[in-house]
Amino acid sequence: MSPSEAEGGGVSAQNKGSWTAFLKSIASFSGDLSSLTAPPFILSSTSLVEFSSYWAEHPNVFVAPAHEKDPQKRALLVLKWFLATLKSQYASRSDKFGNEKKPLNPFLGELFLGKWVDSAGTTELVSEQVSHHPPVTAYRISNKEHGVYLEGYNAQKASFSKTINVRQIGHALLTIPAYKETYLITLPNLHIEGLIFGAPFVELNDKTYITSSSGYTAKIDYSGRGWLSGKKNSFTATMYPTGKEKETLYSVNGQWTKTFEIGEGSSKHGKTVDMYDAEALAPTPLAIAPIEEQDPMESRRAWSKVAAGIAVGDMDTTGIEKTKIEVSQRELRQNEKTEGRTWERKYFKLVEDDYALSTLGPTIGVLPEADKTGGIWRFDEAKAKAAEAKRAIRTEV
Ligand code: HC3
């Protein structure tokens, strides 16, 4: 019996054949994750466009840097927030057996809109599928009351070597206008563990960075359980003045799914200045409009029939409803081609280059890689205003 079967997970006898066929098919897989065909029992009814919400499930942690006057401590709070997002991003979707499922591939223009309302006030989310080939999701999260803004976009490229390895392309930018401060954040590469046992879960690879216009950089090193030692989802992070990696100001150690400790200086034994318990703080639920009030391009509404099919394991309905979406998308693209126009993104625009990216990027080796993301995507305030005005009219009617 495999370890996951012993824990109640793994593939049931009924699904063993399709899982083995899937494992065989991925051995030669590389490219867009959207072309990965997974067996029905491992399909999720959540679209990838929803994943942007994982950046701010703890709005108080997200806005905390805006209330710290000292730039060094502020940079540390940004690092703490980033680390606090990891559990939501990479370990929150598991089913009752802890399995990571295959999300729905968003269609071009798909939207996921919502807000968190809690003691941090209102934090708003806009997530939009800005490209289909390659698949790219852009997002913007804003808390106007506290003055904290996050925007970014991401694409993934997958390859197979022992398992599915996923490289994330794109970046995020956190800005705090009151301090005229911007933080450039890179995204972790990951791989899927547990495939052989039919109990897939994510582990993070390598390292990522956060570098700020105020002159601080944080480097986060990820490590998994490994063959012989180490704990699952471990990391060590250090924060230092940009360009002076040896002058460690703070070190953070722990597990991003459990607890981590922030200490002064470079050693684990420096004075502890803060702690975080990822299991103690419940996420604030995201409020989204009822399906009947949503725009037809909004994710939950657009995929509702597919989701209903997946929920009851009715793969015929799932397939028929998915095909309807694909066909209507193909028709839209064909009409655009005939009429010589392109799909108008509702909240985002393409920019030639970006000041934050070109000034902060080189210090942490971030290249725009615009060819892999269909360009550099930025939130467009004017478009967003127009889209929100239209939305308000629609919901009033
Ligand atoms: C690789 C992944 C899709 C991409 C997901 C991303 C990178 C999307 C952006 C988010 O901000 C962070 C994030 C978290 C998890 C990533 C997903 C984990 C699994 C999924 C694969 C496409 C699923 C593979 C299918 C199967 C059956 C092996 O689990």
How far does residue 375's CA lie from ligand 1's centre (Å)? 22
Residue 4: predicted pLDDT: 43
β-bridge pairing 190-193 and 163-176: antiparallel
Q: Is the CB of 157 under 6 A from ligand 1?
A: no
Write the DSSP assignment of 183-221 as a string of letters: EEE----EEEE-GGGT--EEEE-SEEEEEETTSEEEEEE
Q: Is the CB of 46 under 6 A from ligand 1?
A: no
The predicted-structure confidence for 63-114, as pLDDT tens digits, reads as follows 999 999 999 999 999 999 999 999 999 999 876 667 899 999 999 999 999 9
Average pLDDT of the chain is 93
Encoded amino acid at 133, one letter: H
Cβ(91)–Cβ(200) under 8 Å?
no
Return the bridge partners of 141, or none: 125, 150
Reported as a pLDDT band with limits 50, 70 and 90, residue 397 is: low
Span 156-170, average pLDDT: 94
Q: Is the CB of 90 under 6 A from ligand 1?
A: yes
Mutating to test ligand 1, I would choose from 92, 99, 136, 192 the residue with most ligand atoms within 8 A of its C-beta, which is: 192
Tokens for 257, please give them.
């799914």
Residue 228: predicted pLDDT: 53
- Alpha helices, H only, 225-365: 299-302, 304-311, 315-339, 355-360
How far does residue 192's CA lie from ligand 1's centre (Å)? 9
d(CA 16, CA 84): 36
Q: Is the CB of 100 under 6 A from ligand 1?
A: yes
Reported as a pLDDT band with limits 50, 70 and 90, residue 5 is: very low
Contacts of 290 (CB under 8 A, 6+ apart): none
d(CA 213, CA 8): 48
d(CA 324, CA 374): 26
d(CA 57, CA 82): 11
The predicted-structure confidence for 226-265, as pLDDT tens digits, reads as follows 655 578 899 999 999 999 999 999 999 999 999 999 999 9
Task: For ligand 1, atom 23, name the residue with the nearest CA.
Answer: 102
Domains of the chain as residue ranges with CATH: 1-397 (2.40.160.120)
How far does residue 137's CA lie from ligand 1's centre (Å)? 13
Q: Is the CB of 155 under 6 A from ligand 1?
A: no
